[in-house]
Amino acid sequence: MKFFSFWRSLASFRVRIALNLKGIETEVVQVNILRGEQCTDAFRRVNPQMLIPALEDGKGPTLFQSLAILEYLDETHPKPPLLPKEARARAWVRGLAGIVACDAHPLIVPRIRNFLEQEFKLDEPTRMKWIRHWFVEGYKALESHLANDGVTGRYCCGDAITLADICLVSHSVGGEFFDRGPAPYPNVARITEACLKEDAFARAHPLKQPGAPASISH
Amino acid sequence: MKFFSFWRSLASFRVRIALNLKGIETEVVQVNILRGEQCTDAFRRVNPQMLIPALEDGKGPTLFQSLAILEYLDETHPKPPLLPKEARARAWVRGLAGIVACDAHPLIVPRIRNFLEQEFKLDEPTRMKWIRHWFVEGYKALESHLANDGVTGRYCCGDAITLADICLVSHSVGGEFFDRGPAPYPNVARITEACLKEDAFARAHPLKQPGAPASISH
């Protein structure tokens, strides 16, 4: 497998966690999205949407979209599973993952921030307000389910790590980069801490990847 | 099952298509998101995130997030299947669904438009520019895969309807509401047309639901 990744990509962070949890070795290709390397002709041939993460695995089109890649890794490398067995619990886990991957994260990625800057001429403090607002909305949505749905244990869904935890941690770590960590949201904060004690999460952390700075804050 | 829906919600449109395809009867509860009914205390008890679609099915927390609900319906009512059998094809279909449900649709929903208006004081033409831009980006991303990945047939993935078609049609129909139909994108346009000839899609169309106007344009 050839995995196209970058330290700053929170969606790539999710895939790294899953690869670590399942013990899958890949060739890692760094695509520096801060320098626009995802827009080169070479990468366009890998993923015509010019986004990471992307995963090549044998023949057939490149795999794209972090949730689709996570489900693929879970189907092709079932141990340890990233989804519970029962359909309702699977839906709940996927719903939590969707809060992060659909409702929150797409709002704060570079292409959105660039549009706000270049098309709407919004200044840096205004763009930071936007980013922080949607991180907070994501936390609130996650916490509302974690606190009320009666499903939560050590991790989001009982005591086993699932897709929901992977996405939740990517949200919390991303939030910290923008001075919006998960501390005000007790279940999110507790689960983030529990996950980051796990080697598979800790090794996948953005700041532990090639090219990353020692720390980051906005 | 009790299904919380509204004509104007494109994510609810997706779930309606799946319910029709699988012949599942539900009690439908209209939640008028244009009047803010998703923010009432009553609905907050149904879905604390205050978003539709939501689905109640027996005991356990309400199901939320359209992709999670679609996967749940497919697991609990497997015929006809909404995903291919082979893992790579499943990933491709989920990737296409993610382009719509993660990368495009979350950018144009009412809460985003309200934020742009109320917090950033952006006027109506500027907000329309935003919405149309992300519809177009969604089409481009879908078309880039449909035209290049060698998987497309009558529908997105060969000749069977999948999650990808459901999401693609919700994008095209939503785009038409904002004067950005799929016509410039030949594969998207062709598949949209083929799907809307199917009764399950046609009956689910936003403008065929209770409370909908005869037509809509911005």
Judge whether B57 is closer than 8 Å to chain A, CB to CB: yes
Instruction: Taking residues B151-155, report their average pLDDT.
Output: 97
Model confidence pLDDT, tens digit, residues A189-214: 999 999 999 999 999 999 999 999 99
Q: Could you give the dihedral angle defined by the CA atoms of residues A98, A72, A58 and A200, in that order, rounded to the nearest 10 degrees?
A: 80
Chain-chain contact of B64 with A95 (C-beta, under 8 angstroms): yes
Strands B2-5 and B27-30: parallel
How high does pLDDT run on average in chain B? 95
Instruction: Taking residues B132-159, report their average pLDDT.
Output: 96
Chain-chain contact of A120 with B120 (C-beta, under 8 angstroms): yes
Model confidence pLDDT, tens digit, residues A140-184: 999 999 999 899 999 999 999 999 999 999 999 999 999 999 999
Among chain A residues, CA nearest to B123: A120
Q: Quick one: pLDDT at residue B50?
A: 87
How high does pLDDT run on average in chain A? 95
CB pairs under 8 A between A and B: 145
The confidence band for A48, taking pLDDT boundaries of 50, 70 and 90, is confident
Query: Looking at domain B87-208, which CATH architecture does it have?
Result: Up-down Bundle (1.20)
Is residue B218's pLDDT more than 80? no
Q: Quick one: pLDDT at residue B59?
A: 85
Is residue A218's pLDDT more than 80? no
Judge whether A150 is closer than 8 Å to chain B, CB to CB: yes
CATH code for the part of the protein at A2-76:
3.40.30.10
Is residue B170's pLDDT more than 90? yes
Chain-chain contact of B102 with A145 (C-beta, under 8 angstroms): no
Model confidence pLDDT, tens digit, residues B52-86: 999 999 888 899 999 999 999 999 999 999 999 99
Q: Quick one: pLDDT at residue A50?
A: 87
- Mind telling me how many Å the CA of B30 is from chain A's nearest CA? 21
Instruction: Taking residues B86-106, report their average pLDDT.
Output: 96
- Mind telling me how many Å the CA of B169 is from chain A's nearest CA? 18
- Mind telling me how many Å the CA of B215 is from chain A's nearest CA? 28
Sign of torsion over alpha carbons A48, B173, B16, A93? positive
Q: Quick one: how many helices (H) and strands (E) in chain A?
A: 9, 4
Contact B210, B30 (CB under 8 A): yes
Judge whether A1 is closer than 8 Å to chain B, CB to CB: no
List, in sequence order, every residue forming a beta bridge with A146; answer none if it has no partner: none
Q: Above pLDDT 70, what percent of chain A?
A: 100
Question: Contacts of residue A145 in chain B, CB cutoff 8 Å?
Answer: 48-49, 61, 64
* Domains in chain A: boundaries: 2-76, 87-208
Judge whether A68 is closer than 8 Å to chain B, CB to CB: yes
Instruction: Taking residues A94-113, report their average pLDDT.
Output: 94
